[in-house]
Every structure is written in structure tokens, then in C-alpha cells.
Structure 1
Amino acid sequence: MDFTGAYSADNIGFLMKGLMITLKVACVSIVLSFVIGALAGTLRYARIPVVSQVMAVLVEIIRNLPLLLIIFFTRFALPEIGLKLFQNPEYAAIVALTVFEAAMIAEIVRSGLLSIEKGQMEAARSSGLTYVQALWHVVLPQALRRMMPPMVSQFISLLKDTSLATVIVLAELMHNTQIVAAVNPNWVIPIFIMSALIYFVVNFVLSIIAKRLEARRV
């Protein structure tokens, strides 16, 4: 087995280019999904008539769809109705991952807010704060500490899920790994081992962050 050839500078550099795309897509998706998910989860918690019910339906629908289906829909269906921007695999992947992960984050946020004792909100309201002020200054800061560990775990899953975008020919890490493996049959095992190691290192660092956040919460 030609391990030397598999781990050539060109091949490793090609994998690193794929990793950069993976991290770029993951980071943008994490930021967008956090903002959208936090808003959706808060709206569900607030129980605003109609709005909360609509959010609940959307979140449940998205959470129960396969991510791969959402990726295919974004890349191939949306351009058919005139949204040509999503012919770009990178944009399609970011939107698909954002939509899917935002639904997951929304449920984490809602659960985190519900975990705070009702007395906290009642005490804040009785002190003269409005509902929004009490939510922002009293309930949310406490809930955020409880949300962070599961959120980081969800973001780890998001980073791994970027590998699914290889089906729409996004030049991320898994896509580039497959290209290198196809060049020489002797490179298949070593190059996939290298790719697995890269995923492991990145996700292990995020796992350590999640554990430290969990330890702080306790």
C-alpha cells in the first residue's frame, strides 16, 4: 500500500482546501442558525398568538425531514422556481444547513427557557420590568448557560453534516477526499484515514469546549 504517495504535499494541501470550505460553510451556518434558531425558540416560548403556533409547526416539520432532502431541495428545486443563486453549491449548502440546524437550535432555546423556574419571571415582572425586559435581563441569561453545552454539541453535528454536501458537488473535505482516493486505488485507505483524523481533531476540540461549558453550568 502506497502510504507515501497518498500523503504527498499536493494531496494534503488538497484536503486542507476542502477543510477550509468545510469550516467556512460550517461557521456561516452556525452563526445564521444560532440567530434564527434563538429567535424562533424565543417566539415559541413567548406563546404569542398565531406566531408561536406557526413557528411550532415549521420547526417540527423541518426537524422531522432528512437533512439530505433539504440539501437536494435547496440545490435543485429552488433554482427551478427562479432562485438561481442556489445553483452555487456553497450557497445551497449554507442555506440547507442553516434551515435544518435553526430548527434544532430553536428547540434547544425553547427547552432552555422552559427550564427556568416560573418564579423568576414572576419576580422580575413584580419588580416593574416588562415581559420583554424580564425575558432579556433575567430569564435568558440563566437559560443561556444551560443551553450552551447542547448547542455546542449541535454545532459539532453541523460540522460533520457538511460532508453530506458532497452530493451536490461542494468541494469540501469529504468531496476532496473522494477525488484523491479515486486517483490511485492504493490511496483509498490511507487518505480516508487522514480525512477521519482531520474530522476527529476538529470535532474533539469542539467536544472539549462543550464539556467545559457543561462543567461550568454544574
Structure 2
Amino acid sequence: MDFAGAYSSGNLAYLLKGFAVTLEVAFVAIVLSFLIGCILGILRYAKIPILSPIVALVVEITRNLPLILIIFFTYFALPEVGMKMSVTAAAISALTVFESSMIAEIVRGGLNAIPKGQIEAARSSGLKYIQTLWYIILPQALKKMIPPLVSQFISLLKDTSLAIIIALPELLHNAKGIYNGEGGSKYIIPILLMAAFMYFVVNYLLSILARRLEKRLDPDRSAAKQLVNTTENLL
């Protein structure tokens, strides 16, 4: 192993360049999948005749497919019907499609966790269904969604590495380029350790952010969880 050679300024710059692509693709996919996933989740929750069952079918099919298959389909199959995309666009599209279905289930679960009595009370006070959903149900459901949403976003960031199969110049692609180059096998462990460290730092920061958001938005629940954890440790 040659840590000094592997961590040369040129190699680190190349890794950081790949990591920048990873973060860019992940950020765009997170924003798009959150917006689309929220819409799909609300449509499933609303139980609209015909539309909701169709959305449910699409979500169930998508979330039970391997992400790597969706990536292959987006990059290799869609051009056959005239929808050719760049590597970056294909990766973002595939991740967005897959993660939207996951987030849709998180949103639907969060909405279902709110007691139905609140909807009835809001409707009886004169609020329309959309107003009830927007002002009463969604704000409460969001508090319950934060931990699983952040967990899904972390998974999305890690899943960007699967785009190496279509040669997206992300972190692992560039890492592979380094240890397949002049350094050879003596660079493999140092370079992969550095890549793992980069993933860990960002994902750990996201998990800290999730805990702080949960504590701020739902302090009672966070305090209860802390009490449970403390009790378990004492036992």
C-alpha cells in the first residue's frame, strides 16, 4: 500500500471532482424525487377513484425493481425510442424515478399516521379537503416523515455509486480510474478508504441534521425517544 502516492494532490483533486458530481447528482435527484414523491404520496392517500389505484400500481412496480435495472433502462433503452440523454441526465432521471416511489410510501405512511378524527373535525369546522390536508394534516405528518426521509436521502446519495455502470464520472468512477492507472493495486486500499471517508462525512452530517430537525419540530417525541434510550441503557 502506498498512502503517500495515493493521496497526492492530483489524485485527491480528481477524487474531489468526482465527489462534486456525486453531490450534484444526489442534490438534484433529492429535490426532484421529494417533489414528485410528495405528489404521488398525497394522490395515494387521497384515494381518488381510478387515479389513486393507477398511482399505487406505478409506485409498487417501481419500488420493487432493482435501481440498476432502471439505470440501464434509462440510459440504454430509452434512446431506442428517441429519448437520448447524457450520462448525468440519465443518472438523475433513474434515481428520481426510483426514489420518488420510495418517498411516496413515506409520505403516505406519514399522512396515514395522523388520526382520522382530525380530518373530520377540520371538515366540520368548514375547511375544504385541500385546506384540511395543507393546513392540518401535512404539517403534522412532516414531523413524522423527517427521519425516514433523511434515511432515504442518505440511501440516494450512496446509490449514486451505481451509476458507475454507465460511466458517470462520480466518486467511485474516479477512484477506479486512479487505482487502475499508474498506482495499480498498491493504491486500491488507500483510495477506497478515502472514498469511504467522503461518503461517511456527508451521510453523518445528514443524520445529525435529521436529529436536530426532529428535535426542533417534535421536541416531545425526541425527549420520549431519549428517555427510552436512557432506560434501555440502564437496564
Partner of 1:99: 97
Deviations 1:78-115 (A, max 9, x none): 0111012x2x1100000000000000000000000000
Alignment of 1:56-205 (within 5 A): 56-84=56-84, 86=85, 88-183=86-181, 184=183, 185-205=185-205
What SS class does the counterpart of residue 180 from structure 2 fall into? helix
Partner of 1:42: 42
Once the 2 structures are TM-superposed, how far is the Cα of residue 214 of structure 1 from its aligned partner?
A: 3.6
Return the alpha-carbon distance in structure 2 between the equivalents of residues 102 and 121 of structure 1: 26
Return the alpha-carbon distance in structure 2 between the equivalents of residues 174 and 99 of structure 1: 22
Unaligned runs of 5+ in 2: 222-235
Once the 2 structures are TM-superposed, how far is the Cα of residue 208 of structure 1 from its aligned partner?
A: 1.1
One-letter identity of the residue aligned with 2:151: S
Once the 2 structures are TM-superposed, how far is the Cα of residue 17 of structure 1 from its aligned partner?
A: 0.4
Partner of 1:23: 23
Return the alpha-carbon distance in structure 2 between the equivalents of residues 105 and 165 of structure 1: 20
One-letter identity of the residue aligned with 2:129: Y
Return the alpha-carbon distance in structure 2 between the equivalents of residues 136 and 200 of structure 1: 36
With 153-162 and 179-188 compared, the bigger mean Cα shift is at 179-188
What count of residue pairs does the alignment treat as equivalent?
216
Return the alpha-carbon distance in structure 1 between the equivalents of residues 13 and 70 of structure 2: 31
Partner of 2:11: 11
What SS class does the counterpart of residue 139 from structure 1 fall into? helix
One-letter identity of the residue aligned with 2:165: V
One-letter identity of the residue aligned with 1:108: I
Partner of 2:225: none
What SS class does the counterpart of residue 170 from structure 1 fall into? coil
Taking only aligned residues, the RMSD between alpha carbons, in angstroms, comes to 0.8
Return the alpha-carbon distance in structure 2 between the equivalents of residues 2 and 155 of structure 1: 34
Unaligned runs of 5+ in 1: none
One-letter identity of the residue aligned with 2:194: M
Once the 2 structures are TM-superposed, how far is the Cα of residue 2 of structure 1 from its aligned partner?
A: 1.7
Return the alpha-carbon distance in structure 2 between the equivalents of residues 143 and 103 of structure 1: 18
One-letter identity of the residue aligned with 1:5: G
One-letter identity of the residue aligned with 1:65: L
Percent identity of paired positions between Structure 1 and Structure 2: 62
Deviations 1:39-90 (A, max 9, x none): 0000000000000000000000001000000000000000111012x2x110
Return the alpha-carbon distance in structure 1 between the equivalents of residues 126 and 180 of structure 2: 67
TM-score (norm 2): 0.90
Return the alpha-carbon distance in structure 2 between the equivalents of residues 148 and 2 of structure 1: 42
Return the alpha-carbon distance in structure 1 between the equivalents of residues 77 and 143 of structure 2: 39
